[in-house]
Amino acid sequence: MAFKIAELSDIPVILALHAKYQLDTICEQDKKDGFVTTAFTPQQLTDLINQEQGLFIAKEGAQVVAYVMAASWRFWSRWPMFVHMIKDLPNLTYLGQTLSVDNSYQYGPVCIDKSYRGSGMLEDIFDFSRVEMAKRYPILVTFINKINPRSFAAHTKKLKLSVIQEFEFNNNHYYELVYDTAIPVKADIL
């Protein structure tokens, strides 16, 4: 298994994995095991790679079996949901700091092929992405839709993210979570 920052040549296989688990295209029977809500275009992934180096993947041979997206709030500000979250950052405190676009970044979505779920892949790709992002930001911020309990359980129980608040946006209900990027990782991830 190889963990790496994605390159432009990886985009087609990332999008293929994404389409399997994106809410608009996922098989109905797979929804109970978690899903990704946002659809992404090749251009958006190109921007994520070129501008942020914020697309982290796990590859088995030529196949991408997992990815994590992570980027600055500036990058995410093209989506209304993130504009809403950015406006609320100054109302939140974590690690003794008021959250801001300078001391935090948005983590997610994360997507893992179902054949690799339960194998430790989530923890490994999370740590790989976090080590890279910790070079720029001390605090990770993310959100999980309340209708996605598997993702919530994985992030709070396995990864130990903390709920900082709950919020509503566009008639959906979310948990907002945070994490200290300075927490040590397993040596074999580095």
Instruction: Please give the pLDDT value at position 35.
Output: 62
Measured between its terminal Cα atoms, the distance across the chain in Å is 13
Instruction: Please give the pLDDT value at position 31.
Output: 61
Q: Compute the distance between CA of residue 19 and CA of residue 121 in angstroms, rounded to an integer.
A: 19
If one counts the domains in the chain, the total is: 1
Instruction: Please give the pLDDT value at position 183.
Output: 92
> Is the full-model pTM beyond 0.85?
yes
Instruction: Please give the pLDDT value at position 39.
Output: 74
pLDDT cut 90: percent of the chain above it: 71
Asked whether the predicted pLDDT for residue 85 surpasses 90, the reply is yes
What is the residue range of 179's domain?
Answer: 2-189
Asked whether the predicted pLDDT for residue 86 surpasses 60, the reply is yes
Q: Compute the distance between CA of residue 85 and CA of residue 174 in angstroms, rounded to an integer.
A: 11
Q: Mind listing the pLDDT tens digit for each residue in 32-77?
A: 666 666 778 999 999 999 999 999 999 998 889 999 999 999 999 9
Q: Mind listing the pLDDT tens digit for each residue in 8-19?
A: 999 999 988 887
3-state secondary structure of 150: helix
Q: What value does the mean pLDDT take over residues 113-127? A: 89
- Confidence band for 20, pLDDT divided at 50, 70 and 90: confident
Q: Is the peptide bond before 109 cis (omega within 30 degrees of 0)?
A: yes
Residue 54: Cβ within 10 Å count? 26
Do residues 142 and 152 make contact, with C-beta atoms less than 8 angstroms apart? no
Mean pLDDT score of the chain:
90
Which residue(s) pair with 22 in the sheet? 36
Q: What is the CATH number of the domain that holds 63?
A: 3.40.630.30
